[in-house]
Amino acid sequence: MLLLAAILAAGLIPRAPSSESLTILGRADQLASDIRYAQMLAMTTTTNPALTARRGYCIRLTTSTYAIQEGYDAVTPANNCITAVAHPAALQQPLQLCSGCMTLTNLPNNYVQFDGLGIPYSAAATALAANATIQLIDGGITKTITISAVTGRVVVQ
C-alpha cells in the first residue's frame, strides 16, 4: 500500500501546477469574467439593443489595473468610459492585477466597450477591427485573453 501511494505521488508531483501559474491563471480568469460581466450589463441594460450609438459598459485597462465603467451614451457623448460601476464581488476598483504585467493588442484607447448586442468597440463609434488580446505575463508564465471582434466572445488561453 505504501509503495502504491509513493508511485502515485511521484506521478502527480511533476504535473502539479506551480504557484505562479495558479496566480496568473486566476488573474486571467478574473479579468475575463469581468469583461464578460461588462458585456452582459451592456446587453441587458441598454434600452434598445439595436441602437449602436450607445455603448453601455466597458473595461478600462492599464498595464497593471482595470476597472468596470459605464460607457458612451448618445445623449452625453463626453461620458466615454469614465463612470465607475460597482464590481459584482464588491471589490475595490480599479483592480490591481500585477505590476506592469499586461500588454494590450488592438485596444488603442486602452478600453473595450460593448453595445446592446454585445459587440465590442475600441472607441465610441469604432467597432474592433480585429480580435483584441490582453496578455498577462508573470514569473515566466503567459496567459492570453482574446476578445472576438465579431461576437465579443472572451477566451482565456
Please say whether the beta carbons of 142 and 133 come within 8 A: no
Compute φ and ψ for 151, nearest 5 degrees: -110, -20
**Burial per residue of 33-47, b for 16 or more beta-carbon CB atoms within 10 angstroms, e otherwise:** ebbbbbbebbbeebe
pLDDT at 147: 97
- Name the residue among 135, 134, 136 with its Cα closest to residue 147: 134
d(CA 102, CA 26): 14
pTM of this structure: 0.79
Beta strand ranges found along the chain (DSSP E):
55-61, 65-70, 83-84, 95-96, 102-105, 111-115, 120-123, 126-127, 132-138, 141-147, 154-156
Q: What is the pLDDT of residues 28-51, one digit of tens each?
A: 999 999 999 999 998 887 555 555
Which CATH number among 3.30.300, 1.25.40, 3.55.40, 3.30.1490 corresponds to the domain 18-156?
A: 3.55.40
Q: pLDDT value at position 24?
A: 87
> What's the pLDDT at 19?
44
- Report the candidate in 38, 28, 19 with the shortest Cα–Cα distance to residue 98: 28
pLDDT at residue number 18: 46
Count how many Cα atoms sit within 13 Å of the Cα of residue 94 in the half-sphere of its side chain.
15
Give the model's pLDDT for residue 17. Answer: 47
Residues of the chain with pLDDT under 50: 16-21, 52-53, 77
